[in-house]
Amino acid sequence: MMVEVIDFPDAEEVAKEFLRAEYTARSVDSPNAVGTKLPKNHTTDDLFTRVSRVGGESRDLVTDSPRLLVECFGPSTVAASDRAKITRALMLASARLTKKVTRATEGGGVAFLPDPDTNQPRYQFVVQLDLRGVAI
């Protein structure tokens, strides 16, 4: 008897690709400034969105429900807040905007937490996505 084995997509990669495409489609500043790590040349004058998987679990045999921390950095509190607001709206709408996400729910609202190393303005929130796996 063959047991079905399910592989799930990389949640951070799904979120990065989604945000880059949506930022570009909406003419949001710095559409390519999305990643899982701050770039080596990042300065406190830069807009940047960092996405990190911070937990989650398999909902059922074919659904992974990763919890993502989304951090939005900016040169000012206004710029960082604006970036966080559009990013939160996009992530919560991701199930309607892409076939890779089947559900998106808020895991924690937007909070202001300046970067402890640089004091750069940073707003962050948590979102939980449902991603469908495929049999391998």
Tens of pLDDT, residue by residue over 61-105, are 999 999 999 999 999 999 999 999 999 999 999 999 999 999 999
Q: 22: pLDDT confidence band, cut at 50, 70 and 90?
A: very high
Prediction pTM value:
0.95
Residue 130 has a pLDDT of 98
Query: What is the rounded CA–CA span in Å between residue 53 and residue 113?
Result: 18
The rounded percent of the chain whose pLDDT value lies above 70 is 100
Instruction: Name residue 72's beta-bridge partners.
Output: 49, 123
Q: Which of 64, 83, 71 is nearest to 132 (CA)?
A: 64
CA–CA distance, 67 with 37 (Å, rounded to integer):
17
Query: Which residues are paired to 56 by β-bridges?
Result: 66
Q: How confident is the model at residue 5 (pLDDT cuts 50, 70, 90)?
A: very high
Check residue 70 and give its pLDDT: 98
- Stretch 5-11: mean pLDDT, rounded? 96
Specify whether the CB–CB gap between 36 and 30 falls below 8 A: no
Burial (CB count <10 Å: 0-12, 13-18, 19+), residue 78: exposed
- For 43-52, letters b (16+ CB in 10 Å) and e give eeebbbbbbb
